[in-house]
Structure 1
Amino acid sequence: MHATHDSQHVPNIEETASRPEAPLRVAILWKFPTLGLYSNAPFSALFNGIGHNNGNLAFVYAIKNHITNPVNFFGWSTSPEQLQESADIIVIPCANQLGKHTDYGSMASNLEKSGLPIVAIGLGAQADNYDHDIQLSEGTRRWVEVIAKSTKTCNIYTRGPYTSDQIEKLGINGSVVTGGCPSYFINPEPKLGQRVAERWSQIEVPRSISVAAGHQAWLHTREIEHQLIALMMDPACPGQYVVQSMEEMVKISRGVFEGISDHNIKALRNHTVPHYSFDEFKSWCNNYARSFYDVPAWMDSLRRYDLTIGTRYHGIALALQAERMGLTITIDSRTRELCENTGVPHIAAGDIKGAITRSNLKRMIKFDSAKYDLHRSSAAARYRQFLMANGLQPAGYLSRMATIDMPS
C-alpha cells in the first residue's frame, strides 16, 4: 500500500509574503515554446522540437498557460551563467524521467552551478508496476537531489503517490507534493466531467474512433492494437491513428519513409496492418496515421471522434480536455499512475479478455462525472497552492476550477 500524501504540508501564500512584489522571472527548460510554421519544417527539426515524443507538448502547453510570471524558454543544456542572467527561478516541465532509461548528470551540474531555485512539475517514475522500485543512474539520482536542495519549499510536483514514495525512498524528504499531470488543467471549464458525460450519454455505441497509437516493439499489446485499428478503419465512420513516439512511428505519420530500415518498416507494418503489402502499408499511413505539433490543433482534431482509445496517456487525456470520452489501456506504472491521479478512464492491458467491440467498449468505460469534477477541483487547489508557494503566479481560471459548487 502506497502512502497517499494527503496530509503533507504545502506552504501557503501567507508564508511567502516576504517575497518581493515584482513577479519572478521564470526560465522554463523547454527549448521551443512554439514550432512555428511546422507544415514546412524538416522532420529532424520537428522531432527535436517535440523532445522526441509528441505527448510532451501536452504538459509543456499546460504549464506555459498556468504561469503568468514573465517567462522565457531555454534548452536543457543552457549555461548556468545564462540562466542566472535571464531568470530568478527555473521551472522544469517533467515526464517519466525517474527510471533506468535516463542519465541527467550534466544537467544536474548546470542546475547546481546556476544557484537558482528549481521547480519540477509533473515528475514521474517508470517501472513495470507498483511492486517494483525504480532503478536510477547516478546522474539522474543527483539531478533530483539538486532540484530538491535548490529551495526550502515543496518544489517537486509528482505524477502520483508511487512517484512520491520512490523519491522518498531516495532519502529526499519534505520536497514533494503528490499531484498528477498539469495537462489535467488545460480546459478552463470547472465542470469538465459533466460536459464529457453529457455527450457520452447520448452515444449508444461509439462510431468514429481515434486510436492513441502504441509502439511497434510492444509485442504484448499487438493484438489489442490490431483490434483498435480494425475498429478505427470503419468505412462509414473513418477514424485516425495518432502517433506520439518513437522516431519511426512519428516518421510514418509525416509520410517520411526514407531512412527507416527494412526491419523497422516490417515491424511497423506487422504492428498495424500485417495483411497489407508494403506499398499498401504506406498508403494506409498516408490515409490514417497522424501526429500533431501544437495542442490546440490536436484537441480540435479529437473533437471529431466519439472515442479516443489506446496505450498513450496524453493522447487520451487531451481527448477529455477536448470534452470527448477516452480510455487509456495501461501498460506500466507510469500510465496507471497518471490515470489514477487525473481521473482518466483506464483498463490494464492484461485485464482485456476476448475481443474488443464497440458494444463492450461502452461497458468497459466507467466514468463518474461528479467524482471527476470534485477530484479535479481538489487537485487544482493543491496545484495552485504549490505554484504560489514557489513564487509562481497561477492563471486565474485555476482559482475558479478549485472552488466549484457541486449539487448536494
Structure 2
Amino acid sequence: MRAALVKYSGRRLNNHEAVWFDMPFQSTLEAYYNTGDICVYDSTLRLVDYSEGHLLNIDEPVTEEGVRRIKSSCDFIMLRGSNYIHEEMEWGHFIDWIEALDLPVLVIGVGAQAEKERPIILPKEGRRVWQAIADRAPVIGVRGAFSAETLHRNGIHNLEIVGCPSMFRGLDRTLTLRHAPGGPRRVTFSLRREVGTTYAVDPAEFQRTQKRIIAKLALVADLYLSCHGEPEEKAFFFKAPRHMEAAAAKLVAEGWFDEVTGRLLRGLYESRLFYVGAPGDYDVYAPQFDAALGYRVHAVLPAVAVGVPGVLFAYDTRSTELAETFDLPIYSPEAFERQTLAEALAPERFGRFQSLFAERYDRMKAFIERNGVKSRM
C-alpha cells in the first residue's frame, strides 16, 4: 500500500522514521517548533507498514497534475494524529483534495483540544472535513472519550478510541515497565513554557506551579530537564554564548528565572538540560531514568513506550484524556505535591496500564488493519 502523507511534521529518514525538516543550524537554534508533532508523525510511520510515501501539501490548491500524481502513486491518505478537533483549526485546501482524490483516509489518534472539557461546536468547514473523512474511512481512530464525544456531537459517528500511536512506538506487545526498588531516584522532567489559553485556564499560574514542582523534585531526586522546542532552552542546550545571554535576559524579564527558583532553574539549564531534537534521540535518553514526569505529553508517553514509568499532570483535556485512555497516573499539581515521589510512582498505580497494555496494543493493530492497511505491530 502506498500512502499520501498529510500534515507531515518533519522529513522522513526512511518509511518508518522522521526528524525535523532539514534547515540551517541558526533556524534550529532560534525558531520554535513543537517536537511533539514530530514524535506523533514518527510513531505513526513506525506503526504502519506502507511501501511508498508521497507528500501531499494541503496548503496548496488542488491542481489536475497534482491529482494525477497522487492518484497514480498512492492508494490511501494518511493523516497523523494531532489536536485537530477545535474551533480554530485551519485545514487549508484539504476538503478539496479529499473530494478530488476520493481515496480511503487512515486517521490515527486525533484529538479534541480545549483548556477544559466543554462542548466544542466545530465551524461549518471543520464539519465538512470530518464528514468527508468519515465517508472514506471505515473507522476514525481518536485518542480518547472526550475526542469521540466531540466528533459525535458534530455528527461523526464511525469512531474508535485507540489512544496515541506514541504509546506503541516501541512495537513491543510484551512491554513491561521497570520500577526502581524503593521508588525512583533519577528523574527526567519535561518543560513546557509555551502555553496559551487553549492549554491552561490560567497560563501564569501554570508556569508558577511548574517551577515549584521542579524545585521540590530537585530536593528529593537526581533531576534532569528536557525541553521540546522553545528557543531559549535550546540556547542553553547548545551552549551558544550570545544566545544564552539573550535567553537568560528574556527568561528573567518574563519571570521564569525569578527570585525564588531562578538560580536553581538556571543551574539545571546550564548542566542538566536535554533537547529532544528527534524522536529517536529520546528513545535513547529516556531509558536512563527511573521515571518521566512533566508537562509534555510526548515526553511522558514515549518514555513509557520504552519501559520507563511516567506520570502526567492534569492541565488540559489532552493530558487528562490520554491518562484515562491508557490508565496512566495523572495528578493535579496539588495532589502530586501532597505525596512522596515513591508514592506518586508506586508500581500499583500502573497496575491497570500494565494488565491492559497487550489488549490495547492488539486494538491499535486491528484498527489499522480494519482500514485496509498492514501494520508493523
Question: Shorter-normalised TM-score: what interval?
Answer: 0.7 to 0.9
Trace 1:298-337 onto structure 2 (pairs within 5 A): 298-337=282-321
Q: Structure 2 CA distance, aligned partners of 1:248 and 1:101?
A: 27
| C-alpha distance in 1 between matches for 2:288 and 2:239 | 22
Aligned to 2:110: 123
**Are the equivalent residues in 1 in contact too, given 2:163–2:326 (CA < 8 A)?**
yes
Determine the structure 1 residue equivalent to 2:179.
200
3-state SS in 2 of match to 1:200: coil
Give CA deviations for 1:135-155 in whole Å, capped at 9, x if unaligned.
Answer: 43444333222211224x11x
Which letter maps to 1:162? F
172, 182, 186: which one pairs with 2:169?
A: 186
Give 5+ residue unaligned stretches, structure 1.
1-23, 399-408
**Residue 12 of structure 2: aligned partner:** 33
Q: Distance in 2 between matches of 1:339 and 1:167?
A: 20
Matched with 1:391 is 372
Q: Which runs of 4+ in 1 moved over 6 A?
A: 35-40, 258-263, 280-283
Please tell me whether the aligned partners of residues 191 and 373 of structure 1 are also in contact (alpha carbons under 8 angstroms): no
Counting only pairs closer than 5 Å after superposition, residues 75-224 of structure 1 correspond to structure 2 as 75-77=56-58, 80-81=66-67, 82-130=69-117, 132-151=118-137, 153-154=138-139, 156-173=140-157, 175-192=158-175, 195-196=176-177, 199-202=178-181, 204-215=182-193, 217=195, 218-224=203-209
TM (normalized to structure 1)?
0.75
Q: CA RMSD in A?
A: 3.4
The answer to whether the 8 Å contact 1:184/1:376 transfers is: no
| C-alpha deviation, 1:350, in angstroms | 5.2
For 2:213, the equivalent position in structure 1 comes to: 228
Aligned length: 355
CA contact (8 A) 2:257 2:266 kept: no
| Amino-acid identity (%) | 17
Alpha-carbon distance between aligned partners in 2 of 1:190 and 1:389, rounded to the nearest angstrom: 19
Q: C-alpha separation between the residues in 2 aligned to 1:110 and 1:86? A: 15
The normalised TM-score by structure 2 is: 0.81
Partner of residue 362 from structure 1, selected from 309, 332, 342: 342
1:9-88 to 2 correspondence within 5 Å?
Answer: 24-29=1-6, 30=8, 31-34=10-13, 41-44=24-27, 52-77=33-58, 80-81=66-67, 82-88=69-75
Q: Report if the CA contact (8 A) 1:126-1:334 is conserved.
A: yes
Structure 2 unmatched runs, 5+: 196-202
Q: Distance in 2 between matches of 1:287 and 1:40?
A: 26
1:241-390 matches, within 5 Å, as 241-246=225-230, 253-255=237-239, 257=243, 264-266=250-252, 270-271=255-256, 274-275=259-260, 285-349=269-333, 351-352=335-336, 360-365=340-345, 367-368=347-348, 369=350, 371-390=352-371
Secondary structure of the corresponding residue to residue 12 of structure 2: coil
Distance 1:353 1:180 in 2: 28
